[in-house]
Structure 1
Amino acid sequence: MIIKRFTKEWPLHMLLLPGIVIALIFSYVPMAGIAIAFEKFIPTKGIFKSQWVGWDNFKYMMEYPGMGRIMFNTLYIAIMKIIGGLMVPITVAILLNEIRKEVFKRTVQTLVYLPHFLSWVLLGGILIDILSPTSGIINQLLGWFGFKPIFFLGSNAWFPYTLVISDIWKEFGFSTIVYLAALTSINPSLYEAAEMDGAGRWKQTWHVTLPGMLPIIVLMATLSVGNILNAGFEQIFNLYGPAVYESGDIIDTFVYRMGFVQVHYGLATSVGLLKSVVSFVLLSMSYSMAYRFAGYRIF
């Protein structure tokens, strides 16, 4: 039966083959490097000849000064990004759905979608310029209203919120397109029935639009939970400095410094491994909760 089915569908399997090979080479073969988390790794000796130290790297990680602060920064920034990354695009999608002039609607969609395609290397330079406390346009505008300049990228009080706002601005356009697509699947007769029952635009939104969007909202929220320990390495790496380590240093930037700057490969790998395990557990729990409380299955 299996052979007969494979013979019939072999062109489809061949189409999958390049993707499978790439996944094996770049996602599964490198997993052998997990052994470094349990070794005092020396590059010249390699993985198989480096000294095995067991759980010592994990013990050192738990006792490392500032690890609690790094974990807090990661969770704090990531949770704010997840909440904002859900609320803002949902709101914008609902507002855009109310626009009847298609030209204006498409123009706004395109404008909010464009930042998604820009890398943080480019956006980092732009943000550094416009947020500069001396020559940045934002602080110049604040100066016109009598406010003192704010060092957005050099103040521990402002840096986390600058990260969150700039990340939401960059990515909400992509998520908005997803939610707009979900809105097209809602049966228009539901709005007509609600209007005949005396429901205004707000009640139609609350009782028809949001329930119709619920499956995709659950999907996006579920996928976001798996990234709760990913606060955005590329963004933070291009924007932060020693002055804001206290509020901006996250797990990924810590791993980068330990591994590539201080060449403590064992510690860096152990932190990365712990992060991956926790993310896997959280993602599995979120899938289970999505099915239990919303009746929605991703797979």
Structure 2
Amino acid sequence: MPQTAPSAARASRATISPGKKVALKLWRDRFLYFLVLPGLLYFIIYRYVPMLGMVIAFQDYSPFLGFTGSEWVGFGHFSKIFADPEVARVLWNTLYLSILQILFAFPAPIVLAILLNEVRNQLYKRLIQTIVYLPHFLSWVIVVGLFFIFLRSGGIVNRVLQVYFGFEVPVDFLTEPAFFRPLIILQVIWKEIGWGTIIFLAALAGVNPDLYEAAIVDGASRWRQIWHITLPGIRSTIVILLILRLGNVLDSGFEQIFLMLNAFNMEIGNVLDTYVYYKGIQQSDFSFATAVGMFKGVVGLILVGGANYLAKKFGEDGIY
């Protein structure tokens, strides 16, 4: 019997080699790949190619000898990471600051998004969104500069404290070590809270409004609706962003920390990012600084993998 059209097409596809199938699919979707190409080139050129330079973490690297002429030392620089007491102190500063950011800065956009979601006046809601978004587009130089202007000895904050609260001497906000970490957290919240709400507001838009109507019929208050409907509705988004945040737990933000550091708060303010800068750039210890950077990357990878595993164990989707 003669083959039907579908069976003939299946037979012809079966005779095509796997390599030719891939080539046909690439040609079919060529315009989509052209759209992806600029982003792909960016990651290849600026993210993956520079990773080849991490080889100096296993060398006693000298810029005059280059990659091929520098002496190989194996894991010698990595052993120094765990033997150097300065690294232990810097690592503790980094972890402490990251934990504070997770506890206070990470939930801030969630709270703001829920509050904005409860606003019924759309004009007022958009105005608030615009105001809280704006600081995200300021550089850390401007943000830290504004804090310096307001918090210096003759700044407006100290003037208010002296005039209205009876403070006799100005408060040393910028040099007192006890204020360093709270100021860092406050800056992060003020700068990024509005930008972070974009994702959570998009997630809130996907919550079924029928659930709220059913809760109102059952007599649930606004707080119970938030607790039993809103938060569970965006739980998967919160988990994914938390997993990604854990991957950057050893990244405290070089530019912000570097601008806030001074001789008075260096003891508690020096973190891994600034430590790598001082060791690698100022002291020209390129190999040790690269080893510290690789250590950060490995720890971040382990934390992301572990957090993703736990998220799946608790029934969430995770990131992969």
TM interval, shorter chain, is over 0.9
Q: CA RMSD in A?
A: 1.4
Query: Aligned to 2:309, what secondary structure does the other structure show?
Result: helix
In structure 2, the partner of 1:57 is 77
Partner of 2:254: 233
Counting only pairs closer than 5 Å after superposition, residues 77-156 of structure 1 correspond to structure 2 as: 77-132=97-152, 134-143=153-162, 144-147=164-167, 148-156=169-177
**The residue matched to 2:36 in structure 1 has which SS?**
helix
Please say which structure displays the higher CA radius of gyration. 2
Q: State how 1:151-170 maps to structure 2 within 5 Å.
A: 151-170=172-191
Distance in 1 separating the partners of 2:120 and 2:36: 42
Give me the whole-angstrom Cα distance separating, in 1, the residues matched to 2:248 and 2:166.
Answer: 40
Distance, in Å, in 2 between the alignment partners of 1:21 and 1:98 is 42
Kept after mapping to 2: 8 A contact 1:131/1:139: yes
Q: Shift of the alpha carbon at 1:11?
A: 1.4
TM-score normalized with structure 2 length: 0.89
**In 1, Cα distance between equivalents of 2:304 and 2:38:** 27
* Ranges of 4+ aligned residues in structure 1 off by more than 3 Å: none
CA displacement at 1:295 relative to structure 2: 2.1
Out of 276, 282, 285, the position equivalent to 2:297 is 276
- Equivalences, count: 298
2:60 to 40, 47, 67: 40
Distance 1:294 1:154, change over 3 A: farther
3-state SS in 2 of match to 1:66: helix
How much identity, in percent, do the aligned residues show?
43
Give the Cα–Cα distance (whole angstroms) in 1 for the partners of residues 45 and 198 of structure 2: 33
Cα distance between partner residues in 2 of 1:6 and 1:15: 13
Report the equivalent of 2:50.
30
Residues in 2 aligned to 1:91 and 1:21: alpha-carbon distance in whole angstroms: 37
The alignment's TM-score, normalised by the length of structure 1, stands at 0.95
Residue of structure 2 aligned with 1:214, choices 201, 211, 235 = 235
Q: Residue 67 of structure 1 aligns to which amino acid in structure 2?
A: V
Q: Which of the residues 27, 39, 52 maps onto 1:7?
A: 27
Contact 1:109–1:177, Cα closer than 8 Å, also in 2: no
Task: Tell me whether 1:261 sits opposite 2:282 in the alignment.
Answer: yes
| Residue of structure 2 aligned with 1:243, choices 264, 277, 298 | 264
Q: Which has the higher contact order (CA 8 A, sep 6+)?
A: 1
Structure 2 unpaired stretches of 5+: 1-20
Moved more, 167-176 or 13-22: 13-22
Partner letter of residue 135 of structure 1?
G
